[in-house]
Structure 1
Amino acid sequence: MTMYKVTRRFKDVKHDNHVYEIGDVYPMQGKKATKTRLEELATTKNKYEKVFIEATEAKDDET
């Protein structure tokens, strides 16, 4: 299962303005993210032209 880790602090307008800190898991527990939103945050295809999250593999005990 692919998980995402925050690499740059940001406020997510799609998650009630929740502030994600570096190292946080995205999305936070109880929230969902669309493929489009994941692409926006994992690439420079957003209005800030910055990468905010990166894909990581889940550990076996977290699945």
Structure 2
Amino acid sequence: MSESYKVVRRFRDQDGRVYEVGDVYPAEGLKITKKRIKQLSSTNNQYGQVYIESGE
């Protein structure tokens, strides 16, 4: 998946990496599943918060 997203809320990802507001997600070289993108870009996660949005 080569799409990139903009971080809109600070979070710690599953690998322990911390993303700050304004960062690009995922970090360069990392591959992320569609399921993970869906979790972070919607309120369908344990915190009910949106963490990323389309970077386009």
Q: Shared topology, TM-score over 0.5?
A: yes
Tell me the distance in 2 between the aligned counterparts of 1:11 and 1:19: 4
Aligned-pair identity (%): 53
Unaligned runs of 5+ in 1: 58-63
Q: Which runs of 4+ in 1 moved over 6 A?
A: none
Tell me the distance in 1 between the aligned counterparts of 2:19 and 2:4: 15
Deviations 1:2-55 (A, max 9, x none): 420000000001xx2000000000000111111000000000000000000000
Amino acid at match of 2:33: T
CA RMSD, Structure 1 to Structure 2 (Å): 1.2
How far did residue 56 of structure 1 move?
2.0
- The answer to whether the aligner puts 1:33 opposite 2:35 as a matched pair is no
| Structure 2 SS opposite 1:36 | helix
The TM-score with structure 1 as length reference comes to 0.81
Map of 2:50 onto structure 1: 51
Question: Relative to total residues, which structure has the larger helix share, 1 or 2?
Answer: 1
Tell me the distance in 1 between the aligned counterparts of 2:55 and 2:47: 22
The TM-score with structure 2 as length reference comes to 0.90
Tell me the distance in 1 between the aligned counterparts of 2:26 and 2:3: 12
Unaligned runs of 5+ in 2: none
